[in-house]
Amino acid sequence: MNINLAIDRLRELLGEEKVLTAPEDLYVYGYDSSIVYTGRPWAVIRATSTDDVVHVLKVADEYSIPIIPRGGGSSLTGSSVPVNGGIVLDLRSMNKIKVYVDDGVVEAEAGATVDEVDRECRKYGFMFPIDPASAEVATIGGTIANDGGGMRGARYGTMRHALLAVEVVLPGGKVLQLGSPVYKQALGYELAQLIAGSEGTLGVITRGWFKIVPLPERLGRILAFFNDVEDAAKAIFMIRRRGLNPLILEFLDDITLQAVESVYKLGLPQAAAAVLADVDGPHESIERLINTFRNIFEEFRAFKVEVALTPEEMNRIYMARKAAYPALSKLYPVVIIGDICVPISKLPQMVKAIKSIASKYDVPIAAVGHAGDGNLHTFTGLNTASGDEWDRGCKANDEISLIALELGGSVSAEHGIGIQKKYLLEKEIKYRGSEYALEIMRQIKRIFDPKGILNPGKLFD
């Protein structure tokens, strides 16, 4: 492999300004949003078209150079870190978006952020169904690759559920469109879905086509506080059993509420847990729906219920949820963000387990959940990313993942595997007695990427 020859070749093909090799650029592109993973690429290429990507993958194939696709670099698991050197392929500049209103489809280039796509859809009375908290930074390519989700997950799932078709470039420069931009397709193996969650290890995504959903006619928001986690959980089960389908249904534990209150002074009461729900529908239905939710919350002994119907009020009570990560971030220099999924019925057990793990490792852990789909995020606050305190934080985080597994859940819900969860992925697959699944994944990887140049060191070894 002669990296200098390859870089010279790429400069010729793409032009000087798209190839970065200054030590400062290489240092910066060695990071993503994960805390401890870091690497140093040999070069950074800023692609502005599928043709650019084709050139890069041809040259990379010829010279066997690792390629690390990158969007917003907001991955929490180290998945966009160039741990083995190579070329970081930055797709952020590829950000064209087109809404096909009559088809209910949006086409977006890989580098557009989820928020940019959502804002474009809103111009036409639609919204992008997937709403990661990192939407302003996370790109379409990165969010497909990590199979990201958000608060609306219970209703709309993760990225793969909105994905209709995807354009990918394979090592050697072959361009494929996998899937078709229509709502139904029975075309044998779902290769587009295979790309979702592949974390840049199978191909470089250059664009995607997605289902979009109409903007709700009206929204209402309700926030209820409980003295007992079990009561909050029972209220959540009852919401589902009564056939209600809120747009979002979020759970907040006591540590989260305390942290938010101590930083933002919102006037939140002391509570063991809170549940936040958004209901949507025709104008006249909202008050009725809100009342149904209120009744359920009160049935399960909510001691305070706040309702918001105007955008201002809604923003105010949403702060309790939105401020969870910023509050912890202001209180602690280092915050480990956890991501697990459990069967919804196991939420109270999981929350209890998190509490005992926190006290076992003597670290503060706040739990916030997409209660509608069983996805819990933990925020472990630490003063440092090294030494004993860091070790305890990491152990606590891993133990939480293992408990999720025991409760019938998964070690990763929407943040992916990257480097951080490689061993947990293996554990989960083994736990289910399906070791061969890992072998299938390895074989699939070899078909797409025989030389193993795409994002090496991620997902599995």
Partner 1 sequence: MVDPLNDLRKYVDSCKKCGFCKAVCPVFRSSGYIETAGPRGRMLLLQGLLEGALKPNNYLSRRLHCTLCGYCSIKCVSGLELTEAYLIGRHYLLSNGVVLPGIKDLISNVVSLGNPYGVGSGIKSMWIDFLEERPAKESKVIYFAGCTTAIRRPESAVAAYSLLKSIVGEVAIVEDEPCCHSPLYLAGDWSRFKEGVLKVIKSIKNAGGSVVVTTCPACTRSLREYARNVGVEHDLSVYHIVEYLRELLNQGRLPNLELEATITYHDPCELGRHMGIVREPRELLNRIRGIKLVEMKASGLESNCCGGGGLYLPLDPEGSMSIAINRLNDLPDGVKYLVTACPSCEVQLSRAVQTVNLDIEVVDISEIVWRSLSRSN
Ligand X SMILES: Cc1cc2nc3c(=O)[nH]c(=O)nc-3n(C[C@H](O)[C@H](O)[C@H](O)COP(=O)(O)OP(=O)(O)OC[C@H]3O[C@@H](n4cnc5c(N)ncnc54)[C@H](O)[C@@H]3O)c2cc1C
Give contact residues for partner 1 (rule: CB under 8 A): 20, 22-25, 27-29, 31-35, 46, 72-74, 90, 92-93, 95, 111, 113, 115, 134, 136-137, 325-326, 329-330, 333-335
Q: How far is the CB of 68 from partner 1 (least distance, A)?
A: 13
Cα–chain-centroid distance for residue 266?
27
Among 145, 296, 403, 411, interactor with ligand X by CB under 6 A: 145
Among 56, 133, 275, 404, interactor with ligand X by CB under 6 A: 133
Are β-strands 105-109 and 97-100 bridged in parallel, bridged antiparallel, or unpaired? antiparallel
Q: Which stretch binds ligand X (CB under 6 A): 98-106, 228-236, 274-282, 412-420?
A: 412-420
- Residue 171 identity (one-letter amino acid): P
Cβ atoms of 308 and 301 closer than 8 Å: no
Among ligand X, partner 1, none, residue 150 binds (CB under 5-8 Å by kind): ligand X
- Is 372 an interacting residue with respect to ligand X (CB under 6 A)? no
Structural tokens at position 11: 């400069």
Q: Which is nearer to partner 1, 116 or 147 (CB)?
A: 116
**For residues 298 and 405, what is the distance between their CA atoms, to the nearest angstrom?**
32
**For residues 18 and 56, what is the distance between their CA atoms, to the nearest angstrom?**
11
Half-sphere exposure of 453 (CA within 13 A, CB side): 25
416-435: contacts with ligand X (CB under 6 A) = 416
Location of structure tokens 């696709």: 69
196-225: contacts with ligand X (CB under 6 A) = 199-200, 204-205
91-130: contacts with ligand X (CB under 6 A) = 91, 110
**For residues 253 and 354, what is the distance between their CA atoms, to the nearest angstrom?**
10
Give the x-and-dash track for 272-311 against ligand X (CB under 6 A).
----------------------------------------
DSSP element (H, E) containing 99: strand 97-100
Q: Name the nearest CA neighbour of 147 among 182, 180, 114.
A: 114
Q: Which stretch binds ligand X (CB under 6 A): 69-77, 121-129, 219-227, 238-246?
A: 69-77
Cα–chain-centroid distance for residue 267?
30
Among partner 1, ligand X, none, residue 29 binds (CB under 5-8 Å by kind): partner 1
The residue number with the shortest CB distance to ligand X is 142
**For residues 377 and 110, what is the distance between their CA atoms, to the nearest angstrom?**
26
Edge-to-edge strand order for the sheet containing 175-179?
A: 97-100, 105-109, 204-211, 163-169, 175-179
- Is 39 an interacting residue with respect to ligand X (CB under 6 A)? no
Q: Which residues contact 200 (CB under 8 A, 6 or more apart)?
A: 68, 69, 70, 79, 80, 145, 454, 455, 458
Q: Which is nearer to partner 1, 19 or 276 (CB)?
A: 19
Structural tokens at position 240: 């589902």
Among ligand X, partner 1, none, residue 136 binds (CB under 5-8 Å by kind): partner 1
Among partner 1, ligand X, none, residue 142 binds (CB under 5-8 Å by kind): ligand X
Cβ atoms of 43 and 19 closer than 8 Å: yes
- Is 73 an interacting residue with respect to ligand X (CB under 6 A)? yes
Q: Which is nearer to ligand X, 328 or 353 (CB)?
A: 328
Question: Which residues of the chain form contacts with ligand X (CB under 6 A)?
Answer: 32-33, 68-76, 79-80, 91, 110, 132-134, 137-139, 141-143, 145-146, 148-150, 199-200, 204-205, 325, 414-416, 455, 458
